[in-house]
Amino acid sequence: MSSTTISDVCTHAPTSDFDPYAEEVLNDPYPFYEELRELGPVVYLQRYDAYAVARHAEVHAVLSDPATFCSSAGVGLTNFRTEKPWRKPSIILEADPPYHARIRKVVARVLSPASIARLRVTFEAEAEALVDKILTQGKFDAARDFCAAYPLKVFADAVGLPAEGRENLLPYGDMVFNGFGPINERFHARMNTSSAAIQWISEVCQRENLTKDGLGADLYSAADAGEITHEEAGLLVRTLLSAGLDTTVFTLCNAIIALARNPQQYQILHESPTLARQTIEEVVRYDPTFHSFYRTTTKPVEIAGVSLNENQKVLAIIASANRDPRRWENPAQFDLQRRATGHVGFGAGIHGCAGQMMARLEGDILLGALARKVESITLTGEPVRHFNNTVRGYSSIPVSIIPVTQIQ
């Protein structure tokens, strides 16, 4: 990654040939993020005519100021004000106040702590059953048989999806998240294999295809009450399916990798399973699933002394912010005893992840069950990285586990 200083694009901003979507970056982005942070608080990415903020203070500031850095022009690279989006924008993720507030109010209630708490008993039973299953296997693919298997069961059940066709969920999410980056070969490759997933999602989001007691039904009930339209209810079900599944799967993948590569940290969790919730927070800080989001300036603005024009794309690099040494001590160290409060792995401000309580619940329950019943986790081969323009995870994690000799 090379850099020079430019003055005709943005006062005092360095420019860089850094490509967030290059395979070498997606494979191991953290050395590149370190370079980017040290270039300055704001860096011009010449490949994409966008500015990047990679330090914690600037990332948090951009995400927390929707009036200046809007989402309605798209949270991906495409600027909806100047380019036609390839898909219909999300009515919550890519919406600004006051419209956003009306939609967010409904989603916040459907995904409220009280609403989610009623799922705990079922989620715990499914977690216990899944851990018991992998204990009988000893060696297995954690990405497929553990990290994906659990959300595909409990989250899909909670939304109210039919059992048949759930294999379409992850390919659909993969397509959506690829679309937040450039329309590159990676995006086209997934689009070319996603027609069945798109069709299934379109059908399954309709009221008649959902159970009557799930989160999807709750959204349609809000439409019956006149809080949102029935069309908006269907779009929100679609958003749940794209935003609430792949992200949790990959967060669990990143958790297993971090725990397997740091056995002393797993031992801490094993000895104190109640740290499972804290483990999820540190995983989301240490290696978040979402690495970046774009915002678009609504007016001329200054960031850390750098002037940007109106209608300018700004890339907020969340994963870099979460390892900024200006904010964290020993940020590259995975430490379950760290107070990870303040990370931006779930975003910040009004567009903070609406489903973060659900993700925390799933991670807390599943990792807690694992910690109680499994003595150790060992990688038995090299994990296989899943490449996506926006989210980071794994398609395969070969592991072996040793069960505890006696359950306390």
Asked whether the beta carbons of 397 and 295 are under 8 A apart, the reply is no
In angstroms, the Cα distances linking 79 to 24, 76, 84, 182 are 26, 8, 8, 11
Q: Which residues contact 293 (CB under 8 A, 6 or more apart)?
A: 63, 75, 180, 315, 316, 318, 347
pTM for this predicted structure: 0.93
The pLDDT assigned to 11 comes to 59
The pLDDT assigned to 243 comes to 82
The pLDDT assigned to 5 comes to 33
- Virtual torsion, Cα 255, 357, 218, 223, nearest 10 deg: -110
The pLDDT assigned to 87 comes to 79
Three-state DSSP class for residue 44: strand
Local mean pLDDT, 10-residue blocks, the chain (408 residues)? 41 89 95 97 96 98 96 94 85 91 93 91 98 96 98 96 94 92 92 92 95 96 96 94 90 98 98 97 96 96 95 97 97 95 92 89 97 97 95 96 75
